[in-house]
């Protein structure tokens, strides 16, 4: 995928939605979840937070590399 200006806001929006969804899922399943589920939620939450940082601080080429192209 080539560098496009719309990818950074799209990455930010999807990362914010994912962070909210995974965060709320982690919140609601904290007491009855096993360790594997908590590790999976924590890994996904970390990936979404990384997406937020890349969309805010990264350049268009960085976002294009994140999507799999230069």
Residue-range domain boundaries for the chain: 7-66
- Binned at pLDDT 50, 70 and 90, residue 4 comes out as confident
Alpha-carbon Rg of the chain, whole angstroms?
14
Q: Are 67 and 1 in contact (CB under 8 A)?
A: yes
Interval 48-67: pLDDT, tens: 999 999 889 888 887 887 77
pLDDT for 52 equals 92
On whether the pTM is more than 0.85, the answer is: no
Phi and psi based region of residue 68 (left: phi greater than 0; alpha: psi -120 to 50; beta: remaining): left
Would you say residue 32 has pLDDT above 70?
Answer: yes
């Amino acid at each position: 995928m080539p560098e496009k200006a719309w990818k950074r806001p799209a990455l930010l929006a999807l990362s914010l939605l994912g962070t909210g969804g995974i965060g709320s899922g982690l919140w609601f399943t904290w007491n009855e979840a096993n360790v594997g589920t908590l590790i999976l939620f924590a890994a996904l939450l970390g990936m979404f937070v990384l997406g937020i940082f890349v969309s805010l601080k990264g350049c268009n080429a960085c976002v294009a590399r994140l999507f799999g192209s230069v």
